[in-house]
Amino acid sequence: MSLRGFRGKAVAITFIFASCTDTCPVLTNNMARVQDELGSAFGSKIAFVSITVDPERDTPEVLKQYAENFGANLDGWAFLTGDLATVRSVGRKYGVFARKTTAGDVNHIFLTSLIDPKGILRVQYVGARFDLEEFQRDLLSLVDESK
C-alpha cells in the first residue's frame, strides 16, 4: 500500500469501511461531490485514496462496488485494502486507529489527510462533516503551490 502512483498530485486520504451505516457513507458522498466540482483537475492533479479499516470484509470486489455506489471516478480515486497489519500500520502513520466492535462494526478515528504533490502531509480534517468548499480550496491551493 503506497502513494507512489500519486506522486506529483495533491492527495486526500480517508479511512472508511464499506459496511458502515453511519459516518463513512457521509464522508464518501461528500468527497464524491467535491470530485465532481474539481473538473479536469481530478485525476490529473488531484487524487483521492480511501483505505478500508475492515480489510477482513472489504475485498477489492466489495470496495469496487462501494466506489460505484457513490459514483467515484476510479481514474482519480483508489479504494485500497490489504492485510490487517499493513492497514493498521498505514493508519497509524496518519493518526488513525481502528478497533472492531463485538457487533462487527469498526470504531475508528475520522481523519482526512491532505498530502501535497511532494508527499508532505499538510492538512487534516477531523470528522466527516467538514466544510467542503474549504476542502476543495485547500486541494487546489496545494496544486497551485507546486507550479
Is 24 within any annotated ligand binding site?
Answer: yes
Is 116 within any annotated ligand binding site?
Answer: no
Q: Which amino acid is at 47?
A: A
The rounded distance, in Å, linking the Cα atoms of 41 and 9 is 10
The rounded distance, in Å, linking the Cα atoms of 89 and 76 is 24
Q: Cell digits for 66?
A: 462501494
Q: 20 near 52, Cβ under 8 Å?
A: no
- Of 41, 37, 109, nearest in space to 71 by CA: 37
Is 123 within any annotated ligand binding site?
Answer: no
Residue that the C-alpha cell 480489510 belongs to: 55
- Residue positions forming the annotated binding site for Cu cation: 20, 24, 108
- Residue positions forming the annotated binding site: 20, 24, 108
